[in-house]
């Protein structure tokens, strides 16, 4: 298994403090800062522009190699860690891992997760060298107030097929969902279907699947199920969650491995 890192020894980001991919020192970081309203308006405009570039089409054939991504935060909430993995559906093994860390410039603002976590996630994805046919994101895509959540935002910017697989609902409503594995229900915002509520295992809580980019909802649901083993969460994002948790826990003593090799898990 290959491991790539963009983190300095000690777990610090490999960029100067106050810098991020698309940002600059001195940017407003909260509602009390001057310029915050203008920044949020700019974020909304960015989401609207990206939404116009979204492509909805079947994902055919379903790819063997899948990227999964997830994030975590340092104890002091000053650094965001990201992990990206490439998962082989046939062997059910992680074959590549990439790490990244950046200063966290913004608090959590519902509907704007991609501006907080996106730069670190993109950096980790761009470190991957093995091919992959789609990216699973721990977040929403089309199931978003402006139809451009983190799964859509980043997949469109990277021009990769992307699927949102969120553990909780951001917006929308749904009806009764059967208890059996594979059961689905439409996620509706008014009369518009914005995603699907999917029960990946019998009797457990569902996940919320939505289109990111270059995929349609039917193949997104099919692919998420194809990536699940015996857990609620599909393996690519579950493994990314495991990797970023390990990264966070050892960040104080972390020594980066650049394009180094290790053994994959069975």
Residue ranges of the domains in the chain? 2-22+36-261
User: In the beta sheet, which residues pair with residue 37?
Assistant: none
Say how far apart CA 199 and CA 165 lie, in whole Å: 12
Its sign, for the CA torsion 231, 234, 104, 243, is positive
Give the pLDDT band of residue 27 (cuts 50, 70, 90). Answer: low
Give the pLDDT band of residue 18 (cuts 50, 70, 90). Answer: very low
Query: Which pLDDT score, from 0 to 100, does residue 265 have?
Result: 32
Please, are residues 88 and 239 in contact by the beta-carbon 8 Å criterion?
A: no
Say how far apart CA 166 and CA 125 lie, in whole Å: 19
Backbone phi, psi, residue 257, to 5° = -110, 115
Its sign, for the CA torsion 158, 120, 249, 209, is negative
Please, are residues 72 and 174 in contact by the beta-carbon 8 Å criterion?
A: no
- Per-residue tokens: 49: 């522009």
Give the pLDDT band of residue 259 (cuts 50, 70, 90). Answer: very low
The 10s digit of each residue's pLDDT in 37-84 is 899 999 999 999 999 999 999 999 999 999 999 999 998 888 999 999
Q: What's the CATH superfamily of 2-22+36-261?
A: archaeoglobus fulgidus dsm 4304 superfamily (3.30.2170.10)
- Per-residue tokens: 111: 């509907």
- Per-residue tokens: 185: 């229900």
Global confidence as pTM: 0.85
Its sign, for the CA torsion 76, 79, 81, 82, is positive
Mean of the pLDDT values across residues 185-204? Answer: 97
179 Cβ neighbours under 8 A, 6+ residues apart: 199, 202, 203
Please, are residues 34 and 122 in contact by the beta-carbon 8 Å criterion?
A: no
Give the pLDDT band of residue 8 (cuts 50, 70, 90). Answer: very low
Say how far apart CA 197 and CA 111 lie, in whole Å: 19
Distance of CA 68 to the CA centre of its chain: 7
Say how far apart CA 167 and CA 1 lie, in whole Å: 28
């Amino acid at each position: 298994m290959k491991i790539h890192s963009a983190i300095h020894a000690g777990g610090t980001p490999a960029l100067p403090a106050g810098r991020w991919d698309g940002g600059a020192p001195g940017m407003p970081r909260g509602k009390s800062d001057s310029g915050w309203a203008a920044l949020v308006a700019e974020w909304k405009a960015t989401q609207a522009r990206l939404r116009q570039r979204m492509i909805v089409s079947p994902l055919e054939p379903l790819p063997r190699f899948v990227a999964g991504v997830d994030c975590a935060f340092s104890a002091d909430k000053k650094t965001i860690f990201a992990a990206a993995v490439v998962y082989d559906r046939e062997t059910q093994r992680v074959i590549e891992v990439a790490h990244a860390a950046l200063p966290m410039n913004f608090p959590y603002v519902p509907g704007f997760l991609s501006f907080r976590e996106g730069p670190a996630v993109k950096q980790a994805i761009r470190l991957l060298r093995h091919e992959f046919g789609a990216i699973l994101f721990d977040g929403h895509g089309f199931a978003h107030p402006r139809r451009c959540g983190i799964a859509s935002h980043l997949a469109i910017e990277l021009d990769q097929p992307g699927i949102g697989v969120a553990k909780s609902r951001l917006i929308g409503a749904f009806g009764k969902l059967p208890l059996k594995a594979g059961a689905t229900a439409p996620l509706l915002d008014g009369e518009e279907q914005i995603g699907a509520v999917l029960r990946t295992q019998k009797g457990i809580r569902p996940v919320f699947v939505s289109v990111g980019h270059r995929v349609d909802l039917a193949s997104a649901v099919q692919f998420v199920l194809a990536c699940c083993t015996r857990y609620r969460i599909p393996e690519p994002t579950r493994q990314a969650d495991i990797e970023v948790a390990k990264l966070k826990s050892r960040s104080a003593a972390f020594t980066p491995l650049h394009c180094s090799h290790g053994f994959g898990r069975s």
